[in-house]
Structure 1
Amino acid sequence: MVWPTLALLFNAAVWGLSWWPLRLLRDMGVHPLWANVGLFSIGCAVLLLWRPQALGQVRRTPVLWAMALASGGVNAAFNWGVSIGEVVRVVLLFYLMPVWTALLAWLWLGERPGLGGLLRVGLALGGAALVLQPEGGAWPLPRSLADVLGLLGGLGFACNSVLVRRFAPVTRDEGRALAMLMGCVGVSLVLALALGPLTGMHWVPALPPVQPPWMALLGLTALAFLAGNLAYQHGASRLPANVTAVVMLTEVVFAALSAVWIGAEPLSGRTLLGGGLIVMAALLATLAPARVGRGAQPAAKANRRTSASSSASS
């Protein structure tokens, strides 16, 4: 159990630290949306070389297009948010997944939240209120684009998770993985093209004469994401699904510590308390017994079957 756990910790560290290279790329002139296009295009190329039949699955299975859209929204929102805002706030707001998952599972899977589900939603909302509330005591509302992106990223991730649970029996691992990667490229590309004229966003920066070119950093970051993905496959295939989910919550710790240490971000007592409530809600959600809704299979089985695609939307 040691090596699989370490593999999952490595994957959590990759995603917890992902804000750093994204900000370096931003400082070199690469907008986070265009960075997404490059990073996940490399992932698509690698997967197609390994499993070329996955493209046919995506073309023949319309439900994978919905998964692609949800996954693309997750990565566009999360990577953009951590690039421009306070990392800890964005990551914590992203982990409001118990709220969105309970709502979507009720609407799409027919799973009514029980007392435990309502408790988790209450904990998560209370934590979000503490994180979002300004010092003056005004209403706890998002106060920046980064806050909004963190919330949207968590909503997209919950949407993607529910779709995976609902349609895992009629899709294959490599098809879901490719759809999610293609969605990451497609959604970021559309947003970049649409917002470019309004924001002056350039699709490619000038190559600096002295500093290492941004393409080298982009390639190294893509390799790190790929290594994290492979580590996730190794760990998730050898550990129970609930253990995997608990270990992956360490992403919050990696993000918080690195933001304070490398980014010199402040970490207030209110943020710590609110973050603790959000993490507790997510932890309780991972330890809750699986409930099978209409057309869904047990969560643990679904998670094992979709391990190849889950980290694409981490």
Structure 2
Amino acid sequence: MTSPMLAVLALALNALVWGLSWWPLRQLDANGLHPLWSTACVFTLATLVLTLVRPSGWGHFKQYPQLWWLMAASGLTNVGFNWAVTTGDVVRVVLLFYLMPTWSLLLAWWLLGDRPTRGALARLGLALLGVVLVLKAPESPWPLPQDLPDILALLAGFCFALTNIWLLRLQHTPESARMMAMFGGGACMALACALVPWADGLGASAAMAWLSDASLAQATTWAPYLVGLSVAFLVSNFSLQYGAARLSAHTTAMVMMSEVVFASVSSVALGASALSWRIGLGGGMIVLAALLASQSHTSKDTTP
């Protein structure tokens, strides 16, 4: 039997990587590399490494065509989150992204027939209350989409919930095929969004400037961040697959909400956000919900 706690720790590692990813992405953006191109470069590099290590991964797409759906969902998750967290307020973006448990619960009910228990609904309510506490300051508007980063964060959260559902549905497929779908999706979707004409109105095509401005000095500055992110995302996505394929969609959603805490703490420590009692209390509620979820496994939570 697979240890439930090991799967929870794997998801927590994935959340830690994504919770800290905003900083290197902003460093790349500050050096002239748009987040869409950063995402395309990072995931292309990771896909090449996977192809060299496990070339058989691509061969499973013909046998399991649903992998293309995983590729699309995962790719759009990476595009939306990376773009939003680079250009928007870190804490706000992450919190809007983690309205994801709502999508996850509904998608699991619809696609998997996984009816939520009263306990799952209670934990979801506790976590979402924590999100509202952190996001809704007295002087701020209600957490409705205000600009492009907000919309991207919501889209990324929906696509991440869908990614978790597809990971559960495809848990019988080879691990190498799932990883290839996820990293290949990140590379293809980011490249497509950077190049399509409609992106011009959203500022995406401004990223094209780096192609003409690129210099050896800039490439030297970008390289450590790109390589580091590629390695970190490889480790984190392996952890996500390990955990999400062995836990229920509800539990996965709750544990992954710890990313809110990692992003909040890191952004406050580096001066990108201000700490308040609301963030502390709301973050504590989110962590509590995740801990309760990790202790509440049903027969669906583990895989022999």
> Into which bin does the TM-score normalised by the smaller protein fall?
0.7 to 0.9
Q: Cα offset for 1:30? A: 1.1
Structure-1 separation of matches of 2:63 and 2:192: 23
CA-to-partner distance for each residue in 1:30-84, whole Å, 9 max, x for gaps? Answer: 1111111100111111111111111111243211011111111211122112211
The aligned residue for residue 222 of structure 1 is: 230
Q: Which amino acid aligns with 2:108?
A: A
Mapping 1:135-284, distance limit 5 Å: 135-136=138-139, 138-169=141-172, 171-194=173-196, 195-198=198-201, 199=203, 200-203=205-208, 205=210, 206-207=213-214, 212-226=220-234, 232=239, 251-284=259-292
C-alpha distance in 1 between matches for 2:163 and 2:117:
22
Aligned-residue CA RMSD (Å): 3.4
**8 Å CA contact 2:95, 2:135 repeated in 1:** no
**Deviation (angstroms), 1:12:** 4.9
CA distance in 2 between partners of 1:126 and 1:8 (Å): 22
Q: 1: CA distance between counterparts of 2:111 and 2:95?
A: 25
Indicate if the aligned counterparts of 1:207 and 1:214 stay in contact, CA closer than 8 A: no
Which residue of the other structure, out of 20, 25, 28, is the alignment partner of 1:25? 28
Contact 1:87 1:255 in 2 (8 A): yes
For 1:280, give the aligned amino acid: L
Q: Does 1:121 align with 2:129?
A: no
Cα shift at 1:162: 1.4
Q: Does 1:36 align with 2:39?
A: yes
CA distance, structure 1, for counterparts of residue 147 and residue 33 of structure 2? 21
Task: Give CA-to-partner distance per residue, 1:240-263, whole Å, 9 cap, x none.
Answer: 969x96986654443222211224
* 197-206 or 111-120, which deviates more: 197-206
Contact 1:97-1:282 within 8 A present in 2 as well:
no
User: Corresponding residue for 1:109?
Assistant: 112
- The superposition leaves residues 92-139 of structure 1 with CA deviations (integer Å, 9 ceiling, x where unpaired) of 333333322211111111122221122123223323333343533643
**1:13 and 1:289 mapped to 2: Cα distance?**
22
Q: Tell me the equivalent position of 2:80.
A: 77
What TM-score comes out, normalization by structure 2 length?
A: 0.80
Q: Which runs of 5+ in 2 are unaligned?
A: none
| Contact 1:134/1:140 (8 A) holds in 2 | no
**In structure 1, what is the Cα distance between the partners aligned to 2:44 and 2:200?**
23
Q: Secondary structure of the equivalent of 1:168?
A: coil
Q: Give, in whole Å, the separation in 1 of the partners of 2:143 and 2:12.
A: 32
Q: Is the 8 A contact 1:80 1:149 kept in 2?
A: yes
